[in-house]
Amino acid sequence: MKSLKIAGMAALVALAGTTGALAQAKGLDAIKARGTLLCGTSPGVPGFAQPDDKGNWVGLDVDYCRALAVAIFNDPMKVTFKPLTSKERFTALQSGEVDLLSRTTTWTMSRDSSMGMSFAGVTLYDGQGFMVKKSLGVKAAKELNGASVCVQTGTTTELNLADFFRTNKITYKPVVFEKADETVAAFDSGRCDAYTNDRSGLAAERTKLKKPDDAVVLPDIISKEPLGPVVRQGDSQFFTLAKWVYFALLNLEEAGVTQANVDEMAKSANPDIKRLLGSEGEFGKGIGVANDWAYQIAKKVGNYGEIYDRHFGPKTPINIERGQNKLWTQGGLQYAPPIR
């Protein structure tokens, strides 16, 4: 059935020219005319994208799409979320089924160069790791010789896994699943010794286990996983907008603008903040949106740090140390070009 869906989307790619279904040519104007942003996201990964008890999507990936919707429509609710499996996502983006992917997608060279996509930034610096049951007594990934490893299909994870074991000259048996829920269930029931995924994903999936405290994420990081939003190649206006919405989230945090103090900050005399919040210059025009776009993002979604804390902070069950995802001013990797 899944393959049928992909086949359908592949057919869409094929037919696009004749039917005009490809929104790409019209870009931002088409999105504005449609009145809603089509955001491809994960089908339920805590912290990244998951419907809450009221059916609203919440998560880091979700908030990025909401910020983009605020920039375009001045309304964080004008987003239609399309949950996609790892396998479906690229075909969905290529065929115009969604405007962008904000779906824990790793930025790699082959994806950037030969798959018709462009990465707009890195909303989360991550790395692949392993989760094991504490009862196994494993302390490091290299001790996993001969282990069965549960993994989700259609991800860079599968390749990193093969590389890691090959480099260390140890063996493993992959058990490859289509969806995260089945992968977690199989790991929980002991089908696999280890579960591999991006470490943030592991921390999130760990909360889904029957007894989360029985499992532990190993300290090893076996790959670089820069996760970020992706748009179709060839639409430079939308690509620029997507990039600058991400930069705005970082610049807001750097300038100390939060959801709570944004109105106060708007009165600031600091020219950096004036340009950022739209009271000086016409930066919104250049990316095809209203001039107070960043002000509205701060007010309706918050800055990057607030978004991170909301979904991964110490008060959440996931609770991941911010580490590399701190701003460059605090020793992290998150850095945005200035608005000027």
Residue 5 makes contact with other proteins by CB under 8 A: no
Task: Out of 86, 128, 223, 325, point to the residue binding other proteins (CB under 8 A).
Answer: 86
Which is closer to other proteins, CB of 7 or CB of 77?
Answer: 7
- The kind and range of the H/E element at 177 are strand 172-177
Residue 90 makes contact with other proteins by CB under 8 A: yes
Residue 140 makes contact with other proteins by CB under 8 A: no
Separation of alpha carbons 100 and 38, rounded Å: 7
- Of the ranges 3-11, 39-47, 54-62, 261-269, which one interacts with other proteins (CB under 8 A)? 3-11
Query: What SS3 state is found at 233?
Result: coil
- Of the ranges 41-49, 87-95, 208-216, 218-226, which one interacts with other proteins (CB under 8 A)? 87-95
Residue 24 makes contact with other proteins by CB under 8 A: yes
Residue 173 makes contact with other proteins by CB under 8 A: yes
Residue with tokens 């300290």: 219
Task: Out of 145, 168, 261, 330, point to the residue binding other proteins (CB under 8 A).
Answer: 145
Task: Out of 77, 140, 159, 260, point to the residue binding other proteins (CB under 8 A).
Answer: 159
- What is the phi/psi pair of residue 210, to 5°? -65, -45
Which is closer to other proteins, CB of 85 or CB of 303?
Answer: 85
Separation of alpha carbons 315 and 102, rounded Å: 24
Q: Based on the number of CB atoms within 10 Å of its own CB, is 157 exposed (0-12), middle (13-18) or buried (19 or more)?
A: buried
- Of the ranges 68-76, 172-180, 208-216, 255-263, which one interacts with other proteins (CB under 8 A)? 172-180
Report which of 202, 226, 159, 216 is spatially closest to residue 45, judged by C-alpha positions: 202
Separation of alpha carbons 155 and 274, rounded Å: 42
Task: Out of 53, 54, 109, 114, point to the residue binding other proteins (CB under 8 A).
Answer: 114
DSSP state of 167: H
DSSP state of 77: T
Separation of alpha carbons 229 and 107, rounded Å: 9
Residue 161 makes contact with other proteins by CB under 8 A: yes
Residue 147 makes contact with other proteins by CB under 8 A: yes
Which is closer to other proteins, CB of 175 or CB of 221?
Answer: 175
Categorise residue 223: left if φ over 0, alpha if ψ from -120 to 50, beta otherwise: beta
Please list, in sequence order, all residues whose beta carbon lies within 8 angstroms of the beta carbon of residue 86, skipping any fewer than 6 positions away: 152, 153, 154, 155
Residues of the shown chain interacting with other proteins in the complex, contacts defined by CB under 8 A: 1-3, 6-7, 9-10, 13-18, 22, 24, 86-87, 90-91, 94, 110-111, 113-116, 136, 144-148, 150, 153-155, 158-159, 161-163, 165-166, 172-179, 182, 185-186, 189-191, 193, 232-234
